[in-house]
Chain A
Amino acid sequence: MERLDDFRWQIPRQGGMRVPGILYTSERLMRSMGKDESPKQVANVAHLPGIVKYSLAMPDMHWGYGFPIGGVAAFDAREGIISPGGVGYDINCGCRLMTTHLTHQDIRPRLQDLVTALFQHVPSGVGSTGPIRLKEKDERKVLTDGARWAVEHGYGTVEDLDHTEEGGALAGADPDKVSPRAMERGREQLGTLGSGNHFLEIEVVEEIFDPAAARAYGLEKGQIAIMLHSGSRGLGHQVCDDYLARMVKHLGELDVELPDRQLACAYLSTPRGQDYLAAMACAANYAWANRQLLMHWVREAFEKTLSISPKMLSMRLLYDICHNIAKIETLPVDGKDRSLCVHRKGATRALPAGHPLVPAAYRNIGQPVLIPGDMGSGSYVLTGTTKALEETFGSSCHGAGRVMSRTQATKSCRGHSITNDMADKGVIVMASGRGTLAEEIPEAYKNLDWVVDVVHRAGIAKKVARLRALGCIKG
């Protein structure tokens, strides 16, 4: 690997690589990665047809199935491919940050009650089902309309849609491309948080780095906000699984030697590529509807527990961003706009001020970039930059990124109470399963400050505010 500057390392083109690989990282993060194979995976992605400029990895990169987590790769929309493995199993896994008019002072004595209320009000955990029972006709509407379906059914407001990436619905979603199995799995799980690394966190704004941007985003010190992390549940997993199998089956037609079957893909110009794009959009829309519903129940839980009016709570959606997705976007490449299929697997979009896709209220500032940390360490809000648009296909990192596998994490915390450890740090945690808690201990993740420091100093997103965790619900 060659070092390009303070925050970029290059994997030179070799063997079947069509472009080089570039890692955004720092010396201390490189050291903490140990034997993690993600750089090799960055190089593997560079083998895929139609890849433009370079295969990228963000500082939260870690080993994934086929594609690394924290990977960004753009493919020419006419000549390139689309890969289910480049999106991941949890299609449109993403984050939603909601602000309130409450201050830390206001809720301090009621924090335990709020955490309990959220735990009871928001379905979570392995195999959880939601209170919504969809008929097939309705489910198809969810898949085409996304968050708008939820708003039209009384869950939230039109303003929420303005503050959601893609307005909460990707175009081109075709439910006929979603298998009966995926439809079946989606029917009962709409409006559930899920398990694993998904969470709901009550946070307080602790530090403001950019006062003008914070003002535009409606953030001020001491304010209470809620971070939500969830995705497309079993429906998304099944869509990925179905299409991956289809593409593996037809690998021979691709005429390219792939280093790993999990990189299986199809040309965007083929029916198989188009079908996956249409099915993936359905799963993405399901995830947006899901997060919109969850937000509604969060709002209800706060209002009921604190016996306050919606106006007093004033819960508004700051932004909803996805971090597992492939999208057709028009982006500048060496000064010229090109239509690209951008895969972001554990990476977020990060558009600068003035970009037409940034919500009107934030257009002078830039698109909010939401970066949740590991359990109990809080989150960052950043803003997209022109440099990201020019260098990283308008992308930035998505979180802290694992350094310990789930099994290692579970082993390392045998014999002590994670709930107590978190309480010592001032964070109330409630989880459906003890197993999940052990897998999600802070030690299992990279240092969030280090990760954010890289994107900030490399200029691909700028720090706006840091939030500290007060209470956390895990699935």
Chain B
Amino acid sequence: MTTDFKKIASVAERHFSVQGADRTDLFVNFLREILYLINGEGFLPCEVHFDEFQPGSLRAKIRGESFDTGKHKIHKEIKAVTYHQASVEQTRKGWKGRVICDV
């Protein structure tokens, strides 16, 4: 995250759906939506709930609050979530995703 996670209050909600050609694509597209909430709408997320989760689509409920200059400090700007060497794989413990962000 680009800011102190503990300082984000769970007071507002956003919903979105994303699709992906495969799990990796879905994973990248999900993170792209999250990043747009931050960079485009000034909404800082702190909780994610999935209302629907399929291999090629998902519906997410994001809780958090609007960016407040007095309260939140942005340490680093993430410009984009890239597809570069992105991967999602199943491990013994669950799923492991790897993604590289442009900062």
Contact = CB atoms under 8 A, between A and B. Distances in A.
B12 interface: no
B11 interface: no
A435 B102 CA distance: 16
A126 B76 CA distance: 7
Contacts of B66: none
B75 interface: yes
A49 to B, nearest CB: 19
A196 interface: yes
Contact of B79 (A66, A89, A181, A251): A89
Nearest to A250: B21
Contact of B40 (A65, A185, A240, A244): A185
Given A237-B79, A238-B40, A248-B83, A406 B74 contact: no
A426 interface: no
A394 interface: no
Contacts of B86: 261
B39 A185 contact: yes
Contact of A196 (B39, B85, B103): B103
A181 B36 CA distance: 8
A148 B47 CA distance: 45
Given A241-B32, A264-B83, A248 B21 contact: yes
A120 B50 CA distance: 44
Contacts of B65: none
A412 interface: no
A127 B103 contact: no
A26 B7 CA distance: 49
Chain A's interface: helix, strand, loop or mixed, by majority? helix
Contacts of A185: 39-40
Q: Interface residue tally of chain A, by bracket?
A: 20 to 34
Contacts of B100: 65
Interface in B20-60: 21, 24-25, 29, 32, 36, 39-40
A249 interface: yes
B99 to A, nearest CB: 11
A30 B99 CA distance: 28
Contact of B102 (A89, A245, A264): A89
Task: Point out which of A90, A127, A433 has the most chain B C-beta atoms below 10 A from its C-beta.
Answer: A127
B13 interface: no
Chain B's interface: helix, strand, loop or mixed, by majority? loop
B10 interface: no
A406 B83 contact: no
Interface in A395-421: 406
Contact of B77 (A66, A127, A241, A244): A127
B79 A406 contact: no
A189 B96 CA distance: 36
A38 interface: no
B84 interface: yes
A251 B28 CA distance: 15
Contacts of B40: 181, 184-185, 234, 238
Nearest to A233: B79
B84 A66 contact: yes
Given A248-B25, A249-B21, A241 B80 contact: yes
Contact of A240 (B39, B80, B103): B80
Interface of A: 65-66, 89-90, 126-127, 181, 184-185, 195-196, 234, 237-238, 240-241, 244-245, 248-249, 251, 260-262, 264, 406, 433, 435
Interface of B: 21, 24-25, 29, 32, 36, 39-40, 67, 74-77, 79-86, 100, 102-103
Those 6 A-B pairs whose CB atoms lie nearest each other, nearest first: A261-B83, A65-B84, A262-B84, A65-B82, A126-B77, A262-B83
19 contacts: A65-B82, A89-B102, A90-B79, A126-B77, A185-B39, A196-B77, A234-B39, A237-B102, A238-B36, A238-B40, A241-B32, A245-B29, A245-B32, A248-B83, A251-B21, A262-B83, A262-B84, A262-B85, A406-B103
